[in-house]
Amino acid sequence: MRRRLARSSALGLLLTIGCGSTGPSTPDASAPATLEPPPSPISFDTILAPLLRTPPRSGARGYISRPDTFQTSLLDAYAVDEETGRLVLFQEVPARTHMLAVHPSRRTLFTDIYTDGLRYAVQAWSIGVDGALVPGAAASAANGGRPVQIAASERAVFLRMDGSSTGYSVWVNAYRFDPQTGGLGWAGKFLSRGGCHCLETEELNGIEVHPSGRFLFDLTARHIVTHRITEESRLVEIDAAALTLTNRSHALATHPRGDTLYVTGSRRDTGAEFLHVYRLDPATGHLEPMQSVPLPGGFEGTPVIAVDPLGRALYVPSASTPRALLTVSLDAAGLPRRTESTSYGEAAAGGLTVDPLGRFLYVSSDSGIWAWRIDAEGSLAGLDKVAAAGGLRLTVLAAR
C-alpha cells in the first residue's frame, strides 16, 4: 500500500490498529483557545483565476480534489450531465488540499489545506449559484499531526488527525462554523477511546456525521465511538460499541434514514472481511449490533463505502486487483439481502459517491472517474469513464 503523504500523487488507504486506551474524549488543554489568522494556503490571486469555461446555469455539480505533488493539488469543479452522468470540467483551482466535505446547505465546500510551516488548516469555499468556487475563511490549530479525514455538520467542521509522526495518537480537531457569515474558529481537540491508533495507511472514512447533525461517529480499531456535537461545536463522548468478529476497522457509512450504521472490518489472523450492521437510535446515538456478513474475497481492506441516498443498496469497492465494486442490496429494514460484483478499471478507488438523487454512482481513481447508472433496485449498469482526471475525493451535489 502507498502512503498519500509520502507519495501524494497516489491514493492512500488508512487502517487503524489500537494499541492502548486513553478513556473518554477530553479537550486537549495544550490546544489554543483562540487562533491567530493562519498563513494564506496559496495566493488568492491564483485562486481567483478566470473559469475555464462558463458553467451551465442549472444542474448538479461535482467537485474533486486531485493531488499533484506533496504540497500542491487541484480542486476541480464539474457540471454533471443529468442524462448520462458525464462530468464537464468548468473550473480548476490550484490548492494544497486532499479531502472534501460539504455543508448540509450545499452552499459551502470544506477542504483540508496544507499551509507553509508544516501546518494544516480547514478552508471554506463558497459555492456560487453557478457552482463556481470562491475561497472563504480558513482556520488552523498548532497541535501538529496531519489530517486523514474531514466531515461537516450544520455548525461544525471536523478534521481527524494523525499524530503518529510526532508520537501522539489519532484525534479529532473541531472547528466552529457560522453559516450566516462563513466564519471558522477553533472549538477543541478531542481523543477517542482506543488510545494509540497505529496507522499503516491513510483512511478515508474514519469519521462520519449523523444525518441529523447531532452525532459524530469515530471509527477506531476495535470500537465505534459516538460523540454528541454540542452547540459550541465541541465533542462529548457518549457511547462506544465494540466491533465483533474483527480487529481491524476500515470504513463506515450511515443509512439515509439515520437508523442504521454500516462498518467494514477484517480479522488480522485470517484477513477475512466483514460488513457489520448496527441499529442506531437517532435520539440517543446508541448503537446495537444487528448482523455481521462476510464479504467475498478481494474486498479486504476496502478504503471507503457508500449508501444509496434512497436506501436501496450499499457499495463497497475492492482494495486489490482485479478492481471490482460490490453492490450489497438492502431490505426495507436496512439489512443486507444479497451481493453482486461488477468489474471496472485498473486503478484503486480513492473516492466513492452517489449523486443525491440516486441516479449515478461515481468512483474516482488515479486513472480517472468511473460512473454507473443505478436502477430502481439499486443495482449497477452501464459502466462509463466520465472524466479522464481522477483524484482522492469526489463529491456530487444536486442543484440548489
Q: List the domain boundaries for the chain.
A: 16-35+155-397
What is the pLDDT at residue 177?
97
pLDDT digits (tens, 9 = 90+) for 222-232: 788 899 999 99
What is the pLDDT at residue 103?
94
The Cα 5–Cα 137 span in angstroms is: 24
pTM above 0.85, yes or no: no
What is the pLDDT at residue 96?
79
Residue 97, C-alpha cell as written in the block? 488540499
Nearest to 64 by CA among 36, 89, 41, 37: 89
Whole-number Cα distances in Å, 105 to 102, 185, 211, 276:
8, 19, 12, 30
Q: Residues near 283 by Cβ (< 8 Å), separated by ≥ 6?
A: none
pLDDT digits (tens, 9 = 90+) for 106-155: 999 999 887 665 567 899 999 988 888 999 998 887 677 778 889 999 99
Please, which pLDDT band fits residue 288 given cuts at 50, 70 and 90? Answer: very high
pLDDT more than 90, % of the chain: 32
Whole-number Cα distances in Å, 94 to 27, 213, 307:
34, 31, 31
What is the pLDDT at residue 165?
60
Q: In what helix (H) or strand (E) does residue 294 lie, and over which residues does it extend?
A: strand 287-294
Is the Cβ–Cβ distance between 76 and 389 less than 8 Å? yes
What is the pLDDT at residue 89?
86
pLDDT digits (tens, 9 = 90+) for 182-203: 999 999 998 766 544 444 433 4
The CATH number of the structural domain formed by 16-35+155-397 is 2.130.10.10
Is the Cβ–Cβ distance between 131 and 61 less than 8 Å? yes
What is the pLDDT at residue 47?
36
